[in-house]
Amino acid sequence: MVRRAFAAVVLCALAGVSAAAAALPVKRPPLTWMRGDGSYTKASRGTHAVTTIVIHDTDGGSLDGNVWYLSGGHSHASAHYVIARDGSIVQLVHLSDIAWHSGNASVNAHSIGIEHVGDTYDPAGYTTAEYRSSARLVAWLVRRYSIPVDRTHIIGHSQVPDPNNPALLGGSDHHTDPGPYWRWGYYLNLVRHFAFPERYAVHVDTTTIDRGETLSGIVPWVVRTKRARRVEFLLDGQLVWSDSRRPFAFGGGRGWNTTNVANGTHLLTVRAIGTGHHIASERLVVDVANRNFALTTSAIHAWEKVKGVLRVRANVRGAHTGGIGLYVDGHIVSRDRRAPYTLHWDSRRAHDGLHRITLAAVARDGRVAKRRLPLVVSNDVRPKRPPLPPPEQNLADGQIVTGPLEWHAHTVGPIARVQFVVDGAVIATETREPWTTTWTPTPGSHTLEVRAFTRDGRQATVAATVSS
Ligand SMILES: [Zn+2]
Cβ density class 312-340: b for 16+ within 10 Å, e for less: bebebebbebeebbbbbeeeebbebeeee
Q: What is the 57 CA–ligand 1 centroid distance (Å)?
A: 6
Show Cβ contacts of residue 266 under 8 Å, excluding neighbours closer than 6 positions.
Answer: 235, 236, 285, 286, 287, 288
User: If we measure between CA atoms, which residue out of 173, 195, 192, 175 comes closest to residue 184?
Assistant: 192
Residue-level pLDDT at 221: 95
CB atoms within 10 A of CB 47: 10
Q: What is the 132 CA–ligand 1 centroid distance (Å)?
A: 19
Residue-level pLDDT at 72: 64
Residue-level pLDDT at 138: 98
How far apart CA 154 and CA 184 sit, in angstroms, is: 10
Q: What is the 129 CA–ligand 1 centroid distance (Å)?
A: 20
Q: What is the 51 CA–ligand 1 centroid distance (Å)?
A: 18
CB atoms within 10 A of CB 167: 6
What are residue 310's DSSP bridge partners? 345
Q: What share of residues in the chain are helix, strand, coil (percent, to 5)?
A: 15, 40, 45
Q: What is the 100 CA–ligand 1 centroid distance (Å)?
A: 10
User: If we measure between CA atoms, which residue out of 403, 415, 401, 407 comes closest to residue 449?
Assistant: 407
Identity of residue 284: L
Q: What is the 176 CA–ligand 1 centroid distance (Å)?
A: 7
User: If we measure between CA atoms, which residue out of 128, 2, 108 comes closest to residue 45?
Assistant: 108
Q: What is the 160 CA–ligand 1 centroid distance (Å)?
A: 9
Q: What is the 169 CA–ligand 1 centroid distance (Å)?
A: 11
Question: Which pTM was predicted?
Answer: 0.54
> Domains, the chain, ranges and CATH?
15-199 (3.40.80.10), 203-288 (2.60.40.10), 294-377 (2.60.40.10), 392-467 (2.60.40.10)
Residue-level pLDDT at 145: 95
Q: What is the 157 CA–ligand 1 centroid distance (Å)?
A: 5
For 96, phi and psi rounded to 5 degrees? -75, -15
Task: Locate the DSSP E strands across 58-151.
Answer: 81-83, 89-91, 98-99, 111-116
Identity of residue 138: V
Asked whether 282 and 269 are in contact (CB, 8 A), the reply is yes
SS3 state at 42: coil
How far apart CA 386 and CA 57 sit, in angstroms, is: 116
Q: What is the 197 CA–ligand 1 centroid distance (Å)?
A: 30
Residue-level pLDDT at 226: 85
Which uninterrupted H or E stretch holds 153? none
Q: What is the 29 CA–ligand 1 centroid distance (Å)?
A: 22
Q: What is the pLDDT along the chain (468 residues), one digit of tens a residue?
A: 222 333 333 333 333 344 344 556 889 999 999 876 668 899 999 989 999 999 999 988 787 778 777 776 567 788 999 999 999 999 999 999 999 999 999 999 999 999 999 999 999 999 999 999 999 999 999 999 999 999 999 999 999 999 999 899 999 999 999 999 999 999 999 999 899 988 888 888 888 998 899 999 999 999 999 889 999 999 999 999 999 999 999 999 999 999 999 999 999 999 999 887 788 889 999 999 999 999 988 778 889 999 999 999 999 999 889 899 999 999 999 999 998 999 999 999 899 999 999 999 999 888 999 999 999 999 876 666 777 888 999 988 999 998 799 999 999 888 999 999 999 999 999 999 899 999 999 999 999 999 999 987 789 999 999 998
What are residue 445's DSSP bridge partners? 467
Residue-level pLDDT at 105: 95
Q: What is the 441 CA–ligand 1 centroid distance (Å)?
A: 151
Q: What is the 116 CA–ligand 1 centroid distance (Å)?
A: 9
Q: What is the 5 CA–ligand 1 centroid distance (Å)?
A: 35
User: If we measure between CA atoms, which residue out of 145, 152, 273, 131 comes closest to residue 194?
Assistant: 131
Show Cβ contacts of residue 162 under 8 Å, excluding neighbours closer than 6 positions.
Answer: 103, 104, 168, 169, 170, 171, 172, 174
How far apart CA 415 and CA 176 sit, in angstroms, is: 124
Q: What is the 352 CA–ligand 1 centroid distance (Å)?
A: 102
Q: What is the 36 CA–ligand 1 centroid distance (Å)?
A: 18
